[in-house]
């Protein structure tokens, strides 16, 4: 089972005060979240955080960030070269695996609603989440900045937020949220302090006024470096070659009497878009693997932690049934270990592997059955959930029947693991019991309910008899 995974890249309006940056980033560091990258810029006075995690946990992490950012950032006191309208300015969401664009859009809308209800920050949606076709791209929403939006939101109908009243949060402004495709944030530093030169280069290459499709560009002056920067968002990386883009900026720089010093990627980027041209052509100091999102995911994502956090999240289809299935698979796996370490036991290991596959497949079926029940809310869907729980119970009793045949021959060195296996399998049986009982509460078919309970009780009675006999034998050998 692949746990749903999304990337989120919240941009917040602080790039100078390390203690504030650390506090906001730390607020997002919860179970089920992996922090992949943090990029802060003093001139922009802005930080870009890249995190990845289970969808519901990403929601919680972002809400934590808002709470901390409201406490520590006041846009009325904020200055920086980068356009912004919010303390948490923009929250891009990128589906990574096992979650569709439509599902991610629903998540973004739900998140926006929670942010407004909890903090009073008006929300604008963009890209795939946009509610208005004329406000799909980010610049169309953010182009006037916090100070002007504070006034224009009151009288300009174009500035009416998608969620919230026609007024900004007094210190945190507004926020733009949306599901988008992979984007490369790419900055090129040029050897001049003349902002007009930077603006001319930006004008020549941006999509709306120049000759590159799939990019958005602004020119800005960096007071810290006393140089100008061409700040580029490559929102269609599949049609933009970064080396050709840089070549054109170099050519234009020479025309305007300056030169390119270096470039940088903000956050992470797909490996295939940067590997070929990284070091020499792009004049980037960092290592290509450090900026490749695939590499960061591979190195940082802990699948076990993701699984545990998904069970502990609000995800409705990952609960007791999944936990019971994992408990059963773990118990059977420990039994397998005991078999391998012990000698002279005549039992087919492949049968144990089939039990493990069955337990894992039932875990998946349990999630699917519950999703179906949530959508259809009928007896057929309810029956499917109960049937899966009964299948779990049958596997539990079959496994104990087989363990009974070999328990005497298990090595003393591993007998404790077999005891632990029994406890895990017993936990799995109890999980199926509780799921059956909770689901039968919603069934009005009394005859069906009695039949299910009678069948389960027969399994449970046999299981308890075997469990007590086996645990007694194991305890005598410890």
406: domain CATH number is 1.20.120.680
CA 179, 153, 195, 75 torsion-angle sign = negative
Residue 295 lies in a domain: no
Rounded to an integer, what is the distance from CA 109 to the centroid of its chain? Answer: 16
Residue 308 lies in a domain: no
Tell me the two tokens of residue 457: 């009780």
pLDDT of 311:
80
Tell me the two tokens of residue 440: 């039968």
Tell me the two tokens of residue 330: 């773990």
User: How does 161-197 read in b/e, with b if 16+ C-beta sit within 10 Å?
Assistant: bbbbeeebbebbbbbbbbbbebbbbbbbbbebebeeb
State whether 153 and 198 are in the same domain: no
pLDDT of 175:
98
Count other Cβ atoms within 10 Å, centred on residue 50: 21
DSSP state of 269: B
Which stretches of 206-348 are DSSP H helices?
242-255, 271-274, 279-282, 288-291, 293-300, 303-311, 320-341
State whether 393 and 249 are in the same domain: no
Phi, psi of 6 (to 5 degrees): -130, 150
State whether 98 and 208 are in the same domain: no
pLDDT of 408:
87
Place of tokens 């729980």: 389
Q: Which secondary-structure segment (H or E) carries 142?
A: helix 138-142
Q: Is 39 a catalytic residue?
A: no
Per the structure, the complete domain to which residue 379 belongs is given by: 316-476
Residue 137 lies in a domain: yes
State whether 164 and 206 are in the same domain: no
Distance CA 185, CA 12 (A): 15
Which of 261, 284, 307 finishes a domain? 284
Residues in the chain: 478
State whether 220 and 267 are in the same domain: yes
DSSP state of 144: T
Burial of 132 (0-12, 13-18, 19+ CB in 10 A): middle
Which of 284, 303, 334 finishes a domain? 284
Distances 124 to 31, 71, 163, 254 between C-alpha atoms, Å: 28, 22, 7, 40
Q: Which secondary-structure segment (H or E) carries 365?
A: helix 349-376
Residue 424 lies in a domain: yes
**pLDDT tens, N- to C-terminus, the chain (478 residues):** 678 899 999 999 999 999 999 999 999 998 888 898 899 999 999 999 999 998 989 999 999 999 999 999 999 999 999 999 999 999 999 998 889 999 999 999 999 999 999 999 999 999 999 999 999 999 999 999 999 999 999 999 999 999 999 999 999 999 999 999 888 888 999 999 999 999 999 999 998 888 899 999 999 999 889 999 999 998 888 888 888 899 899 999 999 999 999 988 887 776 665 555 554 455 565 554 555 555 666 666 677 777 787 788 777 777 888 899 999 999 999 998 988 888 778 778 888 989 999 998 898 899 888 888 888 889 898 999 999 999 999 999 999 999 998 888 888 889 999 999 999 999 999 999 999 999 999 988 999 999 999 999 999 999 999 999 999 999 998 8
CA 351, 355, 360, 364 torsion-angle sign = positive
Distances 473 to 239, 323, 465 between C-alpha atoms, Å: 68, 28, 13
Give the HSE-up count for residue 67: Cα atoms under 13 Å, Cβ half-sphere. 12
State whether 389 and 340 are in the same domain: yes
State whether 13 and 109 are in the same domain: yes
State whether 163 and 194 are in the same domain: no
DSSP 3-state of 268: coil
Rounded to an integer, what is the distance from CA 286 to the centroid of its chain? Answer: 25
CA 236, 238, 239, 245 torsion-angle sign = positive
Residue 300 lies in a domain: no
pLDDT of 297:
64
DSSP state of 343: S
The CATH number covering residue 230 comes to 3.30.70.670
Q: Considering 56, 82, 128, 442, which one is annotated as catalytic?
A: 82
The CATH number covering residue 105 comes to 3.30.990.10
Parallel, antiparallel, or unpaired for β 88-97 and 5-8? antiparallel
Residue 196 lies in a domain: yes
Cβ distance 190 to 226 under 8 Å?
no
State whether 341 and 367 are in the same domain: yes
Distance CA 324, CA 362 (A): 10
State whether 252 and 365 are in the same domain: no
State whether 377 and 268 are in the same domain: no
DSSP 3-state of 277: coil
Residue 296 lies in a domain: no
Parallel, antiparallel, or unpaired for β 175-179 and 123-125? parallel
CA nearest neighbour of 277 among 244, 252, 253: 244
State whether 418 and 468 are in the same domain: yes
Residue 293 lies in a domain: no
The neighbouring-strand residues paired with 178 are 92
Rounded to an integer, what is the distance from CA 122 to the centroid of its chain? Answer: 24
CA angle 424-426-432, nearest 5°?
105
Burial of 414 (0-12, 13-18, 19+ CB in 10 A): middle
Cβ distance 310 to 3 under 8 Å?
yes
Which of 265, 284, 303 finishes a domain? 284
Distance CA 201, CA 188 (A): 11
Domains identified in the chain, total number: 3
Tell me the two tokens of residue 319: 């609960």
């Amino acid at each position: 089972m692949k746990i749903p995974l999304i990337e989120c890249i919240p941009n917040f309006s602080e790039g100078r005060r390390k203690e504030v940056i650390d506090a906001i980033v730390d607020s997002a560091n919860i179970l089920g979240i992996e922090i992949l990258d943090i990029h802060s810029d003093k001139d922009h006075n802005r930080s870009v955080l890249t995190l990845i995690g289970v969808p519901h946990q990403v929601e919680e992490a972002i809400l934590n960030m808002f709470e901390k950012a409201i406490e520590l950032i006041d846009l009325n006191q904020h200055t920086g070269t980068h356009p912004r309208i919010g303390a948490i300015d923009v929250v891009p969401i990128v589906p990574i695996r096992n979650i569709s664009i439509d599902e991610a859009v629903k998540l973004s809308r739900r998140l926006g609603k929670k942010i407004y209800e909890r903090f009073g920050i008006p929300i604008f949606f963009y890209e795939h989440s946009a509610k208005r076709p004329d406000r799909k791209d980010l610049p169309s929403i953010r182009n006037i900045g916090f100070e002007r939006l504070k006034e224009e939101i009151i009288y300009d109908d174009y500035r009416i937020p998608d969620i919230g009243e026609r007024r900004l949060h007094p210190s945190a402004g507004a926020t733009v949220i949306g599901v988008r495709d992979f984007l490369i944030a790419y900055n090129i530093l040029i050897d001049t302090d003349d902002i007009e030169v930077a603006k001319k280069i930006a004008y020549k290459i941006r999509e709306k006024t120049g000759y590159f499709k799939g990019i958005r560009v602004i020119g800005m002056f960096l007071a810290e470096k006393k140089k100008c920067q061409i700040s580029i968002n490559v929102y269609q990386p599949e049609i933009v070659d970064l080396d050709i883009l840089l070549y054109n900026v170099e050519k234009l720089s020479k025309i305007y009497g300056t030169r390119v010093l270096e470039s940088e990627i903000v956050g992470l980027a797909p490996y295939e878009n940067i590997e070929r041209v990284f070091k020499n052509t792009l004049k980037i100091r960092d290592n290509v693997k450090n900026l490749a999102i695939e590499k960061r995911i591979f190195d940082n994502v802990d699948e076990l932690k993701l699984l545990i956090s998904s069970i502990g999240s609000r995800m409705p289809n990952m609960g007791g049934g999944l936990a019971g299935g994992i408990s059963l698979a773990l118990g059977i796996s420990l039994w397998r270990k005991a078999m391998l370490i012990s000698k002279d036991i005549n039992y087919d290991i492949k049968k144990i592997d089939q039990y493990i596959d069955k337990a894992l497949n039932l875990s998946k079926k349990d999630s699917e059955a519950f999703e179906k029940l949530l959508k259809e809310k009928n007896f057929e869907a309810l029956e499917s959930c109960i049937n899966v729980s009964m299948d779990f119970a049958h596997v539990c009793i079959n496994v104990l029947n087989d363990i009974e045949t070999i328990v005497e021959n298990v090595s003393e060195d591993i007998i404790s693991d077999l005891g632990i296996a029994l406890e895990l399998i017993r936990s799995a049986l109890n999980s199926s019991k509780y799921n059956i009982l909770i689901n039968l509460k919603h069934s009005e078919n009394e005859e069906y309910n009695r039949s299910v309970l009678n069948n389960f009780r027969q399994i449970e009675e046999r299981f308890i008899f075997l469990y007590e006999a086996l645990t007694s034998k194991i305890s005598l050998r410890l």
